[in-house]
């Protein structure tokens, strides 16, 4: 019997994805350092490295560094530089995701090269079967598409994500519930999703260096410093607790808006200006339909056109603008801590709707509280 709460979650992360796609298309690249770059077009080498294969990484060439620096580091190494071909990677990604879907109870795609799979039922709740299944998934994707990936298998998304990074490329890492503490506590705090450079610095001042330090830290103080959502999230994460379900994207009907920023940015206030306009429109739409929402989500499309979505489920249904604003603000703040990339397009949405009771609708319509 599988206890109702116990889950087995996998995080599949494709290895050096854009560069691996390029190797697949042109096998002559194998054995050479391969760099996929976002060329800005200003000069021949202006722009940044999108990703590189593992050979190029040995020379210190990794995502985010300037292309001219990558060229310098790979001088005389027979390296190949290619521009991003997003459509091609997207096609391969779609094919892989549909193969992976057949191995899951539920699949949630987290980015072009990452997906969470809830495999609790498929594996009858056993880690032996999950591990065997991961090998079968690898063999299938290798055979049908030709690419490798790394997997983390764990009781929740948080641990699965961290585990997926332990053996890369082409690895499988299993963290069973009884191993979670020993796995997590010695890691540096930035192993936790959402702990970026700024948070690391702040935590370091507070004497928090490892996840173990964070786990011992008073949760009230975390809330004082980081706010309720993040403070509680950090506390739970440090204890290996994460109840976030694996959810098929777009499962719930949602109301949202997307738009392009006037310029690429990482400035939270600037981003929120755009989001606030969108919230106004979203608000009108769900109010007209007499809907209450219980989930607020954001989407960020980065300068390389990769998209990330994050959402937050509220304790109870809401129908006001401020709650959306607050949740979107928190989600963007957390998300900016996870990436160094600039954001090009942003969006906000509400979902998980319930109908406002007719009685309640009348009351709110006729007895509007005085401002």
**Closest alpha carbon to 133 in 108, 98, 102:** 102
Count of positions on this chain that bind ligand TTP (CB under 6 A): 16
Task: Spell out the residues 6+ positions from residue 300 whose beta carbon is closer than 8 angstroms to its own.
Answer: 307, 308, 309, 332, 335, 343, 345, 346
User: Cis peptide before 169, with omega less than 30 degrees from 0?
Assistant: yes
**Closest alpha carbon to 67 in 91, 95, 34, 45:** 45
Which token pair is 76? 């005389």
Site string for ligand TTP, 194-223 (x = CB under 6 A): ------------------------------
User: Is 23 a binder of Mg ion (CB under 5 A)?
Assistant: no
Q: CB of 92: closest distance to Mg ion in angstroms?
A: 13
User: Is 64 a binder of ligand TTP (CB under 6 A)?
Assistant: yes
Q: CB of 360: closest distance to ligand TTP in angstroms?
A: 46
**Piece of 14-22, 117-125, 189-197, 263-271 that binds ligand TTP (CB under 6 A):** 14-22
Nearer to Mg ion, 17 or 226 (CB): 17
User: Is 341 a binder of ligand TTP (CB under 6 A)?
Assistant: yes
Nearer to Mg ion, 164 or 295 (CB): 164
**Piece of 20-28, 62-70, 109-117, 255-263 that binds Mg ion (CB under 5 A):** 109-117
Contact set for ligand TTP, span 100-159 (CB under 6 A): 113
**Strand, helix or coil for residue 3:** coil
Site string for ligand TTP, 257-286 (x = CB under 6 A): ------------------------------
| E strand or H helix at 294 | strand 291-302
What one-character DSSP code corresponds to residue 217?
S
CB distance 117 to 104 below 8 Å: yes
C-alpha span between 221 and 102 (Å, rounded): 44
**DSSP for 32-65, written as a single string:** S-EEEEEE-SSSTT-EEEEEE-HHHHTTT--TTS
Q: Pick the binder of ligand TTP from 9, 10, 11, 17 (CB under 6 A).
A: 17
User: Is 18 a binder of ligand TTP (CB under 6 A)?
Assistant: yes
Give how far the C-alpha of residue 191 lies from the chain's centroid of Cα atoms, to the nearest Å.
13
User: Is 329 a binder of ligand TTP (CB under 6 A)?
Assistant: no
Task: Spell out the residues 6+ positions from residue 358 whose beta carbon is closer than 8 angstroms to its own.
Answer: none
**CA neighbours within 13 Å on the CB side: how many for 136?**
13
**Piece of 15-23, 101-109, 125-133, 284-292 that binds ligand TTP (CB under 6 A):** 15-23
Contact set for ligand TTP, span 160-189 (CB under 6 A): 168-169
Site string for Mg ion, 58-97 (x = CB under 5 A): ----------------------------------------
Strand ranges in 124-266 using DSSP code E only, listed in sequence order: 149-154, 172-174, 254-265
Q: Which residues bind ligand TTP (CB under 6 A)?
A: 13-18, 50-51, 63-64, 113, 168-169, 304, 306, 341
Q: Which residues bind Mg ion (CB under 5 A)?
A: 13-14, 17, 113
């Amino acid at each position: 019997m599988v206890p109702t709460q116990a889950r087995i979650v996998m995080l599949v992360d494709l290895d050096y994805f854009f560069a691996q796609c390029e190797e697949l298309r042109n096998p002559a690249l194998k054995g050479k350092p391969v760099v996929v770059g976002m060329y800005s077009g200003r000069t021949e080498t202006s722009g940044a490295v999108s990703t590189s294969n593992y050979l190029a990484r040995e020379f210190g060439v990794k995502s985010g560094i300037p292309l001219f620096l990558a060229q310098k580091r790979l001088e005389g190494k027979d390296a190949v530089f290619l521009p991003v071909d997003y459509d091609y990677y997207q096609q391969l990604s779609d094919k892989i995701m549909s193969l992976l879907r057949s191995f899951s109870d539920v699949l949630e795609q987290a980015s072009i090269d990452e997906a969470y799979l809830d495999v609790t039922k498929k594996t009858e709740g056993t880690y032996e079967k999950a591990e065997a299944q991961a090998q079968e998934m690898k063999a299938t994707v290798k055979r049908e598409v030709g690419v490798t990936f790394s997997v983390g298998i764990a009781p929740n998304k948080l641990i699965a994500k961290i585990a997926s990074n332990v053996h890369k490329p082409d690895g499988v890492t299993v963290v069973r519930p009884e191993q979670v503490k020993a796995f997590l506590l010695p890691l540096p705090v930035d192993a936790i999703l959402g702990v970026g450079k700024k948070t690391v610095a702040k935590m370091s001042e507070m004497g928090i260096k490892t996840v173990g330090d964070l786990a011992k830290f008073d949760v009230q103080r975390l809330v004082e410093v980081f706010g309720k959502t993040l403070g509680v999230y950090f506390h739970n994460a440090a204890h290996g607790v994460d109840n976030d379900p694996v959810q098929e994207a777009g499962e719930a009907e949602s109301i949202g808006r997307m738009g392009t920023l006037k310029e690429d940015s990482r400035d939270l206030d600037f981003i929120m200006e755009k989001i606030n306009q969108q919230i106004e429109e979203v608000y009108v739409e769900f109010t007209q339909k007499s809907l209450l929402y219980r989930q607020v989500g954001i989407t960020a499309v980065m300068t390389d056109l990769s998209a990330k979505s994050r959402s937050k489920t509220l304790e109870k249904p809401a129908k006001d603008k401020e709650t959306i604003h607050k949740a979107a603000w928190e989600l963007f703040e957390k998300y900016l801590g996870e990436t160094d990339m600039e954001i090009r397009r942003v969006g906000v949405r509400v979902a998980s709707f319930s109908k406002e009771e007719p009685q309640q609708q009348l009351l709110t319509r006729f007895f509007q509280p005085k401002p």
